[in-house]
Chains A and B, each alone.
Chain A
Amino acid sequence: MIDLKTLLIMFARAINSSTVKYWLLIGNVAGFFYYPELITRDVDIAVLFTESRDIETLIHSMEREGFQLSSEQKYSLMAKQRTIIYLEESPFYVDLLPVVYDVDIFMDAWKHRVTETLDGQKIFLPTFEYWLILKLYAGRESDFVVAKKALRYAENLGVSIDYRLLQELAKKYSIEKRLRRILR
């Protein structure tokens, strides 16, 4: 059975050998590095396709890595739609999220990204502040719960949090009310 870590490494190897430049590990796997009480069953990857060959080379790289993609999955990617990528041997999956509408916030997070290396593969993560802002931007009820708990966890640990940046980003992306909700 293929576990979450192996799935992430395999996907990172595929995307890093494609022409895709802009991608970020987001969601709860990224959040786990800041708030290790999260549990998840998927690897959320936000990706911005900027070159005409990006999608084609990503599909090719994923197939070379062992991901078997159906025509439906390929069409979905070519249409820059959310696509579930999986391996038969794993209950976990990659939730591949092409960025079409939220380009500004994505690029902002990408520019301030944290780069880690895992088994020789570069993994790009948002900083804690950007991770929080992305959660608040998504605005689902579960995101508020997780963001609030992660913030309390970091505060209790005495981790330095850039509240000024959080305020600035919340203003920039018109989510001040959402931020206030978790800062209370």
Chain B
Amino acid sequence: MASSSLKNKLEMLSQMAMSGIRITIEKVMERLNVDEREAIRIIRETFVKSDREAEIR
């Protein structure tokens, strides 16, 4: 069932993930008055903290 158009699907996933996160980054930059790099760090750390359990050990 795996698709041969992996590149296209990955591109789609990547764009979807990016469009959602771009808005969040802009909001963090505005509300916390930080630059993009700092906003990215804050968001990434928030994601990591909420991602506690591993799928395989």
Interface of A with B (CB < 8 Å)?
Answer: 1, 3-6, 8, 26-27, 29, 32-34, 36, 38-42, 44, 46, 82, 84, 86, 88-93, 95, 97, 99-102, 105-106, 114, 116-119, 123, 125, 127-128, 134-135, 137-138, 140, 143, 154, 159-161
Task: Say what secondary structure dominates the interface of chain A.
Answer: mixed
Residues of A within 8 A of B32 (CB): none
The answer, yes or no, to whether B27 is at the interface (CB within 8 Å) is: no
The answer, yes or no, to whether B18 is at the interface (CB within 8 Å) is: yes
CB distance from B11 to the nearest CB of A (A): 6
Is the Cβ of A92 less than 8 Å from the Cβ of B17?
yes
Given contacts A118-B6, A127-B2, contact A4 B54 (CB under 8 A): no
Is the Cβ of A116 less than 8 Å from the Cβ of B6?
yes
Interface of B with A (CB < 8 Å)?
Answer: 1-4, 6-7, 9-18, 20-22, 25, 36-37, 40-41, 43-44, 47-48, 51, 53-57
